[in-house]
């Protein structure tokens, strides 16, 4: 297998000796934009928890269902996607613009290889717009200032935070980050979240997470519980069916234990 670095040697400078969540996720999805450290970490997690592959695919399917709901049923035309990850099939802008070509999408990520590939591969429909903000989502000022160059923040925005808040430690207050972003958006805005949790299939997800964290350097995955997850939606009106195991959100469920919750809320 060819390393991603062989494809873009002059575009980015990054540490490939430790795994990165976006590139590990890319490997699980069958992508090629990953390095040896990412593949080794991904395989360690698979060995501890083989259902992780079903989980990442279920999360992609959830993204599609959530964006289709927001664009087709809620009438949302602006999306702020936090923690973009590497481009794959049916990204937020593709799903939204299939329904409403005029949709405007801003992607945010702090991994340079993600942004290099995003700029090359994520192209907008002519009627809409797609932009990218290189920022850590903890820097909410930079995120919102960058988003405001493409989105009208006086109109409702759908904030997508899929499998990203789990990489913000409790000490950095991920709940406060979400609250601050939503607090600066108008009523009618939405928040969609998915994350890995420790109160579903506890043994395997705990072991898999420990193996991943050993190989990821300063970026660590924090496993939370349902009450922790529900706090992200404080003050919001929940979209049915509320907080549920990820495959059950407007989906058929799963025959495999997938240790993730998902939910969507609307700012009143």
| Helix (H), strand (E), coil (C) string for 39-56 | HHHHHHHHHHCCCHHHHH
Whether 1 maps to a domain, the answer reads: no
Q: By percentage, how much of the chain surpasses pLDDT 70?
A: 92
Whether 7 is covered by a domain: the verdict is no
CA-closest candidate to residue 159, choices 139, 179, 176: 179
pLDDT (average), residues 229-252: 97
Q: Considering only CA atoms, which of 168, 170, 193 is closest in space to residue 182?
A: 193
pLDDT tens for residues 32-88? Answer: 888 999 999 999 999 999 889 989 999 999 999 999 999 999 999 999 999 877 766
Mean pLDDT of 143-154: 97
pLDDT tens digit sequence for 2-18 = 333 333 333 345 678 89
- Bridge-based pairing of strands 260-266 and 190-196 is antiparallel
Task: Give the bridge partners for 260, in sequence order.
Answer: 196
The answer to whether position 152 is within a domain reads yes
CB contact at 8 A, 107 and 84: yes
Query: Residues 93, 86, 114, 170: is their CA dihedral positive or negative?
Result: positive
Is residue 151 situated within a structural domain? Answer: yes
At residue 122 the predicted structure's pLDDT band, cuts being 50, 70 and 90, is low
3-class DSSP state for residue 190?
strand
Query: Which residues is 176 bridged to in the sheet?
Result: none
Residues 35, 233: Cα–Cα separation, whole Å: 36
Residue at 255 is within a domain: yes
Coil, strand or helix: which one is 192?
strand
- The answer to whether residue 196 is domain-embedded is yes
Could you tell me if 165 and 193 are in contact, meaning their C-beta atoms sit under 8 angstroms apart? yes
pTM for the complete prediction?
A: 0.90
Does 4 fall in a domain?
Answer: no
Q: What digits encode the pLDDT tens for the residues 186-202? A: 999 999 999 999 999 99
Give me 193's structure tokens.
Answer: 């979240």
Q: How many domains does the chain have?
A: 1
Question: Which domain range does residue 80 map to?
Answer: 12-266
SS3 for 100-147, per residue? CCCCEEEEEECCHHHHHHHHHHCCCCCCCEEEEEECCCCCHHHHHHHH
Q: Contact, 226 vs 110, CB < 8 A?
A: no
What pLDDT does residue 116 have? 75
Q: What is the dihedral of CA 36, 121, 165, 156, to 10 degrees?
A: 180
pLDDT band at 110 (very low <50, low <70, confident <90, very high): confident
pLDDT at 115: 74
Residue 191, domain CATH: 3.40.50.150
Residue 2 maps to a domain: no
């Amino acid at each position: 297998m060819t390393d991603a670095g062989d494809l873009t040697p002059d575009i980015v400078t990054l540490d490939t000796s430790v795994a990165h969540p976006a590139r590990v996720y890319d490997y699980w999805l069958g992508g090629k934009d990953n390095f040896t450290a990412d593949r080794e970490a991904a395989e360690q997690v698979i060995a501890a928890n083989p259902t992780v592959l079903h989980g990442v695919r279920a999360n992609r399917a959830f993204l599609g269902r959530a964006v289709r709901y927001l664009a087709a049923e809620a009438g949302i035309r602006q999306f702020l996607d936090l923690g973009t990850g590497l481009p794959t099939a049916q990204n937020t802008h593709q799903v939204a613009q299939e329904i409403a070509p005029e949709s405007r999408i801003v992607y945010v990520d702090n991994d340079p290889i993600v942004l290099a590939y995003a700029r090359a591969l994520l192209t907008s429909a002519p009627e809409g717009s797609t932009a990218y903000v290189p920022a850590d989502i903890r820097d909410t000022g930079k995120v919102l200032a960058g988003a405001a160059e493409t989105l009208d923040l006086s109109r409702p925005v759908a904030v997508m935070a899929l499998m990203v808040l789990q990489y913000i430690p409790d000490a950095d207050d991920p709940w406060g980050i979400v609250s601050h972003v939503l607090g600066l958006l108008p009523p009618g805005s939405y928040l969609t979240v998915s994350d890995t949790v420790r109160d579903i299939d506890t043994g395997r997800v705990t072991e898999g997470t420990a193996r991943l964290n050993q190989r990821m350097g300063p970026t660590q995955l924090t496993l939370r519980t349902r009450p922790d997850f529900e706090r992200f939606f404080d003050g919001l009106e929940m979209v049915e069916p509320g907080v549920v195991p990820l495959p059950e959100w407007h989906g058929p469920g799963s025959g495999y234990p997938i240790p993730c919750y998902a939910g969507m809320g609307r700012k009143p």
